[in-house]
Amino acid sequence: MTQRQRYLETMLFGNPDKVPFWISGGREKTRANWYRTGLPEGADPVQYMYETLGIEPEETQPRVGLGVSFQMMPKFEEKVLEHKNGHYLVRDWMGNITEISDEYNYTYIRRPKDFVTRRWWHFPVTNRDEWEEMKTRYDVHDPKRFPDDFEQRCQALQDRDYTVSLSLSGPFWQLREWLGFEPLCVLMIEDPDFIHEMIEFWTEFISATLAPIIERVQLDSVTFNEDMAYKEHSMISPAMCREFLMPCWRRWTQELNASGCPVVYLDSDGYAGELIPLWIECGINAEGPNEIAAGNDLVEYRRLYGKQMAYMGGIDKRAMAKGGQALRDAIMNVVPPLLEEGGYIPGCDHGIPANVSWPNYVEYARLLAELCGWQ
């Protein structure tokens, strides 16, 4: 099977020859620990893991990207406003003013190369005048939004052996970027019309930007990024999700399904148990990463929702750090039952933490490779 066929057969409960074997190269502190604990200095973690396990990587044609941007245009000027007491105060490209330890280069705000804690001091939309200005940055017809060779890229993607996917900011994610989490939640109660207005704008912007893509290319999957849950509960109630978010999710999913895109995936940290029924109702058919520490139980979710939902992740990162029997139990309690029915690509339940040693990561990857049919 090609990489594309294998992915789709797996996620759509078909009959793949083997299940995709996806491993991460880790973030900076994680890689630093791997180099200290057995990974040769400077080696690429993914490539070296394949060599260690004797696995041939999936071969594909040279990949062509769509090159379409869903980000604001123009971006805010990135600027260090202050540097004192071991911290940077930075205005980032999204217009936020955030504080970050000077242990990191401030560009970590732009690209999360490591596990970095930030503090937010100001968000770009605090009133309707700022909202009107923000809207001007999301012109669908901005000439920089689509590459000059967009038509040629779309043509090159007609006959491919690899998956083509997109990641989009969902309405909760995007409004949190504009307003901040607490102001967003307050406005949902105090000024719901304003929130509806912003979500309707974002819904239209994404739909209009997607339209030329899905008219020309059959996407294999689209991810809605919606980090919207804590431990044991979602950040907003299911009722508020139904009022504010579901119309947007439903519209995008319907448009994607009509274009032939078979997998619509929702990415959210935290506990998904309250949200999965709502996602299914909107036509979303895959989700992850299913953090175990937050209370997610994939075996129970499969019992409850059957083949209405496919999953990714679900292997406890804390067990990866412990290794040994704890790691084996974390894998064997989840992976075989779900692989038996399909609709599951196993993996770490979030970013791999820095306390996972290289030997433990090899142990994790080796067992995963065996279960997924690569060894």
What is the amino acid identity at position 59? E
pLDDT confidence of residue 58? 86
Q: Which has the higher per-residue pLDDT, 118 or 7?
A: 7
Residue 112 has pLDDT above 80, yes or no: no
The stretch 66-80 carries a mean pLDDT of 97
Instruction: Tell me the pLDDT band of 267, cut-offs 50, 70 and 90.
Output: very high
Buried/exposed 135-168: b ≥16 CB within 10 Å, e otherwise: bebbebeeeebbeeebeebbeebeebebbbebeb
* Helix, strand, coil in percent for the chain, rounding step 5: 45, 15, 40
pLDDT tens digit string along 332-352? Answer: 999 999 999 999 999 999 999
Whether the CB-CB separation of 197 and 243 falls below 8 Å is answered with: no
Q: Six-digit token pair at 327?
A: 């790691």
- What is residue 101's three-state secondary structure? strand
Residue 330 has pLDDT above 80, yes or no: yes
Q: Is the dihedral of CA 232, 234, 240, 241 positive or negative?
A: negative
Q: Name the percent of the chain lying above pLDDT 90.
A: 94
Give, in order, the Cα–Cα distances in Å from 232 to each of 65, 200, 218, 315: 37, 29, 37, 17
Q: Which residues contact 244 (CB under 8 A, 6 or more apart)?
A: 171, 172, 188, 192, 195, 196, 199, 236
Residue with tokens 């491993």: 23
Instruction: Tell me the pLDDT band of 164, cut-offs 50, 70 and 90.
Output: very high
- What is residue 362's three-state secondary structure? helix
- Output the average pLDDT for the chain: 96
The stretch 181-203 carries a mean pLDDT of 98
Distance CA 90, CA 268 (A): 26
pLDDT confidence of residue 106? 79
pLDDT confidence of residue 75? 97
Question: Per mean pLDDT, which range of 111-125, 202-216, 265-279, 317-331 is the poorest?
Answer: 111-125
pLDDT confidence of residue 104? 87
Please count the other Cβ atoms lying within 10 Å of the Cβ belonging to residue 41: 7
Residue 3 has pLDDT above 80, yes or no: yes
Between β-strands 118-122 and 344-348, what pairing exists: parallel, antiparallel or unpaired?
unpaired
Q: Which of 256, 272, 274, 363 is nearest to 311 (CA)?
A: 272
Rounding to the nearest 10 degrees, give the CA dihedral for residues 269, 272, 278, 284.
Answer: 60
Question: Is the backbone of residue 323 left (phi > 0), alpha (psi -120 to 50) or beta?
Answer: left
Which domains does the chain possess?
3-71+125-371 (3.20.20.210), 77-123 (no CATH)
The stretch 69-96 carries a mean pLDDT of 96
List residues bridging with 302 in a β-sheet. Answer: none
Instruction: Tell me the pLDDT band of 117, cut-offs 50, 70 and 90.
Output: confident
Q: Is the peptide bond before 289 cis (omega within 30 degrees of 0)?
A: yes
Give Dmax (Cα) for the chain: 59
Residue 358 has pLDDT above 80, yes or no: yes
Whether the CB-CB separation of 351 and 115 falls below 8 Å is answered with: yes
Give, in order, the Cα–Cα distances in Å from 361 to each of 94, 289, 327: 35, 18, 10
The stretch 167-172 carries a mean pLDDT of 98
pLDDT confidence of residue 107? 83
Instruction: Tell me the pLDDT band of 116, cut-offs 50, 70 and 90.
Output: confident
Instruction: Tell me the pLDDT band of 105, cut-offs 50, 70 and 90.
Output: confident
Q: Six-digit token pair at 98?
A: 């955030």
Residue 115 has pLDDT above 90, yes or no: no
